[in-house]
Amino acid sequence: MILSAEQVKKLIPQDDPMVMVGDLLYIDEKTTICQFTIPQNHILSENNLLNRTALIENMAQTAAVRSGYLAQQTGSMPKTGFIGSIKNFEILANVSCGQTLTTTIINTGEIFNASIIEGKIECDGQLIARGEMNIFLLDVIEN
């Protein structure tokens, strides 16, 4: 593990109860892997099942961890990311509160201020979701 869930929270703009990422397990030039154990009664769950659209947020927040970590390593301000598009996103199974997601994103390119990522989410070795996103990164303006 590179960073604990508490350290990861300092890298992303989301705050509880909207946090959808945990430990940072791996990062290199293109790949980032995070793990997240879904808390009981998570705000994005109903009847102990995680809302399926929360998986999109999990993938986007994994990209935010990447951006925040790289900014921290270079001493620069992290950029704020916004999902620009979602492509070929498939949700293959439901997940329950208490289960642990392992999310892998691969940064496949940068065009101007957009990152292009491919991602997959696994739970207990089973593929749960996969897809692509374009995430627009904007500089944070401090007052």
pLDDT tens digits for range 110-132: 988 899 999 999 999 999 999 99
Tokens of 9: 């929270």
Select from 88, 99, 100 the least CA-distant residue to 130.
88
Its CATH architecture, for the domain 5-138, is: Roll (3.10)
Question: Percentage of residues in the chain with pLDDT exceeding 90?
Answer: 85
Residue 78 pLDDT: 80
Q: How far apart are the first and last CA of the chain?
A: 35
Residue 66 pLDDT: 95
pLDDT band at 82 (very low <50, low <70, confident <90, very high): very high
pLDDT over threshold 70, residue 140: no
Name the pTM for this structure.
0.94
Q: What's the 3-state SS for 6-48?
A: HHHHCCCCCCCCCCCCCCEEEECCCEEEEEEECCCCCCCEECC
Residue 139 pLDDT: 79
Encode pLDDT of 90-103 as tens digits. Answer: 999 999 999 999 99
Say if residues 79 and 140 touch (Cβ distance below 8 Å): yes
List of residues 6+ apart from 125 with CB closer than 8 A: none
Residue 126 pLDDT: 97
Residue 142 pLDDT: 56
Residue 52 pLDDT: 87
Number of residues written out for the chain: 143
Average pLDDT in the 46-72 region? Answer: 95
Residue 46 pLDDT: 94
